[in-house]
């Protein structure tokens, strides 16, 4: 297998460089060579051109139309010449339209013959219909045409000409050809057609860079434009004693220009990048105001002012410690071309290259990004792609199996699952490696493909490249156990703190004749804390990883236990009697709390008994009052003077005495209820356990 990967190390790459949608040339003096290119993983590229000039110079940069916005946003000119400030000119995007509109005949909106003739009223013209007629255009009118149409009356255009014989009206359909007698007008037609044809066939836009100056000097121009994203792929051979690791960059030069001997950097990171429409002209709507005409002045009052703003010139002086003129002079000097071009990468040695990597690129940190700078100048022809080695050496790698707790639970009773064949990598290359695919080799042959996200220096990462069919994993789950951890009572409220137990048991069987390293990925239960086992290999935002040894031709059982707190708040005074008794006899409740609750049960029973007694007395009174009402109705029916009425009167008197006696007993019972309720309430309120 060493030969398989090693073979690529002997492929010669002089390198690659490209600029998407951009070609550069020096007008009339040869090309402007590209010296440096940095390709970013965010889909943009930094390009630096450099050449020697003498005296004042004019350079032309030619871009595809879609790249002009990026070029205008990022162009940097570095000219050490002692002359005036450099400047850039270019045709605006609407130049064609405005140029066409400025000509004698406006072809900007694709006019028809009738519209062209109508726009040239008064011009002298010669038409053939089929004979020659010379005259001046009076106008175009629409007249009814022969035939009919289901959509209405058909019309066709007629041109009116003022000729020596008077006004002639001719249908445009009869005209076979025409020409204007004004040579300047015919020249404008020719020019307009040339402009339209040129714009249709040209995909490029030119930026003319003027460099006033004196003496011989080296000038650099740089910019950032969109490019194809550079890609990366890796190879890993875990069949060696020391695993071999190799990374390759895939780059594309899809421009129309060759690059020769270019310093190339490949930058991994995620900088902010966007397109802003700087190339097309923008116009704003302005309000229309009437002319200023003298009149009476309008009365107006002014409020008093405070928090006066510092004028711009004063603010510049205060902040910079110099006058506004000096500040403006500094700003002018900065914009005059003395701005150093940004350096996206420098060929430094890696900070911690523990594997002594030998590759065509050297890695180095660039701010929060990481750049791979090709060691030797590179060349790549137009419309070509290349694969360039980034890293080539050894990496720490440990083969392992990974059993996903989420997958094995999803399988449920349908059967177990096979764990993943994986490798635990440690990035010892001294480089920050971009995300990409990994082709894994083992035992001298292909073992599978894997994917890896951004891989920082010294990071550990698992990669999966297959499944182990000789190993099967199953799991069971129990989340029904709740245990009381503590009970507190204060201000009449009992708080019962419980522990919700989540228990998951994994069973893994190995049918292979060799022992294997196994990692179980146990999903984290939200809000829960791991209690068994106490330690783990590592933890992510969603799972724990546990490392175990799976015996040959055997099985292992692993249990993971998590707990989450559950609090229950109970207002003791509002509990039903049976619920209060239940808490007082629950053996999970601490003994002192049970004893206190038992006393509360006694007081509650006394209170309930007093209430029951009062209720019974009130029931007896209600029945006596009902009897009294019935007797009163009978008395009214027979009359008080009758013998039966006299008996009813005696019964009424007896019932009154009984009701008065019950009222006295009810008052005593109500007092007892209030007393026992107060004793219960005071006892509960005073509990603090």
Q: Would strands 460-467 and 471-490 be described as parallel, antiparallel, or unpaired?
A: unpaired
pLDDT score for 486: 85
Instruction: Kindly provide the residue ranges of all beta strands, DSSP E only, lying in 524-638, ordered along the sequence.
Output: 529-532, 538-539, 543-550, 555-571
Distance (Å, rounded) from C-alpha 337 to C-alpha 325? 20
Distance (Å, rounded) from C-alpha 42 to C-alpha 36? 18
Q: Which CATH class is domain 100-200?
A: mainly beta
Structure confidence by residue, pLDDT tens digits, 82-95: 667 898 988 776 77
Cβ count within 10 A of residue 224: 21
Q: Is 249 helix (H, G, I), strand (E, B) or coil?
A: strand
pLDDT score for 533: 94
**593 is written with which tokens?**
């709390």
Could you tell me which residue, 407 or 480, shows the higher pLDDT?
407
For a pLDDT cut of 90, what percent of the chain falls above it?
30
* Span 260-285, average pLDDT: 83
pLDDT score for 311: 44
Instruction: Please name the residues in contact with 2: beta carbons below 8 A apart, sequence gap of 6 or more.
Output: 237, 240, 244
Distance (Å, rounded) from C-alpha 512 to C-alpha 506? 19
Distance (Å, rounded) from C-alpha 501 to C-alpha 484? 11
Q: Which residue shows structure tokens 């309430």? A: 681
* Span 316-328, average pLDDT: 39
Instruction: Please name the residues in contact with 39: beta carbons below 8 A apart, sequence gap of 6 or more.
Output: 45, 227, 230, 251, 264, 265, 266, 267
Structure confidence by residue, pLDDT tens digits, 368-396: 667 888 778 888 888 889 998 888 888 99
Distance (Å, rounded) from C-alpha 647 to C-alpha 650? 5
Distance (Å, rounded) from C-alpha 136 to C-alpha 113? 16
Distance between start and end Cα atoms, the chain:
72
Q: Which residues pair with 268 in a beta bridge?
A: 370
Q: Which residue shows structure tokens 């490949």? A: 266
The DSSP call for residue 540 is -
Distance (Å, rounded) from C-alpha 594 to C-alpha 592? 5
Residue pair 375/389 in contact (Cβ under 8 Å)? The answer is no
pLDDT score for 29: 27
Structure confidence by residue, pLDDT tens digits, 606-660: 888 998 999 999 898 899 888 888 888 888 888 878 888 888 888 888 888 888 8
Distance (Å, rounded) from C-alpha 28 to C-alpha 32? 11
Residue pair 213/83 in contact (Cβ under 8 Å)? The answer is yes
| Residue 227 scores a pLDDT above 50 | yes
**98 is written with which tokens?**
């405005």
Residue pair 1/444 in contact (Cβ under 8 Å)? The answer is yes
Instruction: Please name the residues in contact with 293: beta carbons below 8 A apart, sequence gap of 6 or more.
Output: none
Please choose, from the candidates 19, 202, 196, the residue with its C-alpha nearest in 3D space to the C-alpha of residue 108: 196
Distance (Å, rounded) from C-alpha 401 to C-alpha 407? 14
Using CA atoms, how far residue 393 sits from 430, 445, 502, 654, 661, in Å, is: 11, 19, 45, 116, 108
| Residue 8 scores a pLDDT above 80 | no
| Residue 6 scores a pLDDT above 60 | no
* Span 449-475, average pLDDT: 91
Whether the CA torsion 95, 101, 106, 112 is positive or negative: it is positive
Instruction: Please name the residues in contact with 324: beta carbons below 8 A apart, sequence gap of 6 or more.
Output: 312, 313, 314, 316, 317
Instruction: Please name the residues in contact with 404: beta carbons below 8 A apart, sequence gap of 6 or more.
Output: 417, 419, 420, 521
Q: Is 685 helix (H, G, I), strand (E, B) or coil?
A: helix
pLDDT score for 304: 37
pLDDT score for 362: 66
Structure confidence by residue, pLDDT tens digits, 12-50: 333 333 333 333 333 322 368 888 999 988 889 999 998
Q: Any alpha helices (H) in 205-249, and if so which ranges? A: none
Distance (Å, rounded) from C-alpha 173 to C-alpha 112? 13
Distance (Å, rounded) from C-alpha 436 to C-alpha 233? 5
* Helix %, strand %, coil % of the chain (to 5): 30, 40, 35
Q: Which CATH class is domain 582-686?
A: mainly alpha
Distance (Å, rounded) from C-alpha 445 to C-alpha 237? 9
Cis peptide before 194 (omega within 30 of 0): no
Cβ count within 10 A of residue 37: 27
Q: Which residues pair with 340 in a beta bridge?
A: none
Distance (Å, rounded) from C-alpha 90 to C-alpha 163? 47
| Residue 308 scores a pLDDT above 60 | no
Domain segments of the chain as ranges:
2-93+204-279+342-391, 100-200, 471-574, 582-686
Could you tell me which residue, 208 or 341, shows the higher pLDDT?
208
| Residue 516 scores a pLDDT above 90 | yes
**321 is written with which tokens?**
């410690």
**398 is written with which tokens?**
């440990």
Distance (Å, rounded) from C-alpha 537 to C-alpha 546? 5
Distance (Å, rounded) from C-alpha 636 to C-alpha 33? 130
Q: Any alpha helices (H) in 336-475, and if so which ranges? A: 405-411
């Amino acid at each position: 297998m060493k030969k398989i990967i090693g073979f690529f190390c002997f492929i010669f790459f002089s390198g690659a460089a490209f600029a998407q949608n951009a070609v550069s040339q020096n007008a009339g003096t040869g090309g402007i060579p590209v010296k440096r290119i940095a390709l970013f993983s965010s889909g943009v590229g930094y390009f630096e051109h450099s050449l020697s000039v003498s005296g004042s110079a004019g350079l032309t940069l030619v871009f595809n139309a879609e790249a002009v916005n990026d070029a205008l946003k990022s162009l940097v000119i570095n000219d050490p010449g002692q002359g005036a400030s450099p400047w850039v000119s270019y045709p605006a995007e609407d130049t064609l339209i405005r140029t066409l509109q400025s000509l004698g005949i406006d072809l900007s909106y694709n006019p028809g013959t009738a519209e062209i003739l109508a726009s040239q009223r008064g011009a002298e013209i010669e038409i053939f219909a089929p004979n020659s007629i010379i005259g001046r255009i009076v106008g175009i009118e629409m007249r009814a045409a022969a035939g009919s149409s289901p959509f209405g009356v058909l019309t066709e255009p007629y041109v009116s000409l003022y000729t020596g014989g008077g006004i002639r009206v001719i249908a445009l359909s009869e005209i076979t050809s025409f020409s204007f007698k004004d040579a300047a007008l015919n020249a404008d037609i020719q020019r307009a057609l040339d402009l339209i044809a040129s714009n249709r066939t040209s995909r490029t836009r030119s930026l003319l860079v003027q460099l006033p100056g004196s003496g011989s000097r080296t000038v650099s121009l740089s910019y950032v434009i969109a490019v194809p994203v550079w890609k990366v792929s890796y190879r890993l051979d875990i069949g060696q004693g020391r695993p071999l690791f190799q990374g390759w960059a895939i780059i594309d030069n899809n421009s129309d220009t060759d690059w020769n001997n270019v310093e190339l950097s490949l930058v991994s990171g995620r900088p902010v990048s966007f397109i802003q429409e700087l190339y097309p002209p923008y116009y704003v709507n302005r309000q229309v105001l009437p002319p200023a005409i003298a009149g009476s002045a309008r009365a107006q009052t002014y409020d008093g002012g405070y928090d006066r703003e510092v004028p711009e010139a004063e603010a510049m002086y205060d902040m910079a410690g110099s006058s506004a003129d000096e500040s403006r002079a500094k700003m002018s000097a900065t914009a005059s071309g003395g701005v150093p071009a940004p350096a996206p990468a420098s060929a430094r040695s890696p900070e911690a290259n523990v594997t002594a990597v030998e590759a065509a690129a050297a890695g180095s940190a660039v701010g929060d990004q990481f750049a791979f700078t090709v060691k030797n100048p590179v060349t790549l022809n137009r419309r070509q792609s290349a694969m360039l080695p980034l890293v080539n050496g050894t990496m720490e790698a440990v083969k392992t199996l990974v059993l996903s707790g989420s997958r094995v639970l999803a399988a449920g009773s349908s059967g177990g699952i096979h764990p993943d064949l994986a490798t635990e990598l440690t990035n010892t290359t001294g480089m920050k490696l971009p995300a990409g695919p990994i082709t894994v080799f083992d035992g001298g042959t292909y073992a599978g493909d894997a994917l890896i996200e951004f891989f920082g220096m010294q990071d550990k990462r698992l990669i999966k490249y297959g499944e182990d069919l000789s190993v099967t994993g199953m799991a069971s789950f129990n989340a029904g156990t709740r245990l009381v951890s503590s009970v507190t009572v204060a201000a009449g409220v009992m708080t019962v703190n419980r522990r919700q137990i989540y228990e998951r048991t994994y069973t893994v069987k190995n049918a292979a004749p060799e022992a294997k390293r196994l990692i179980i990925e146990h999903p984290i239960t939200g809000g829960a804390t791991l209690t068994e086992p106490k330690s783990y290999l590592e933890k992510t935002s969603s799972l724990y990883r546990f490392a175990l040894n799976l015996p040959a031709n055997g099985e292992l059982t692993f249990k993971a236990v998590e707990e989450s707190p559950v609090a229950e708040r109970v207002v003791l005074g509002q509990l039903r009697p049976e619920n209060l008794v239940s808490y007082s006899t629950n053996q999970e409740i601490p003994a002192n709390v049970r004893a206190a609750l038992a006393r509360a049960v006694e007081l509650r029973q006394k209170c309930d008994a007093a209430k029951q007694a009062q209720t019974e007395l009130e029931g007896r009174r209600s029945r006596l009052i009902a009897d009294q009402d019935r007797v009163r109705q009978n008395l009214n029916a027979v009359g008080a003077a009758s013998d039966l009425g006299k008996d009813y009167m005696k019964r009424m008197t007896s019932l009154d005495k009984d009701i008065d006696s019950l009222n006295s007993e009810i008052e005593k019972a109500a007092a007892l209820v209030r007393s026992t309720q107060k004793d219960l309430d005071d006892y509960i309120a005073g509990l603090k356990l």
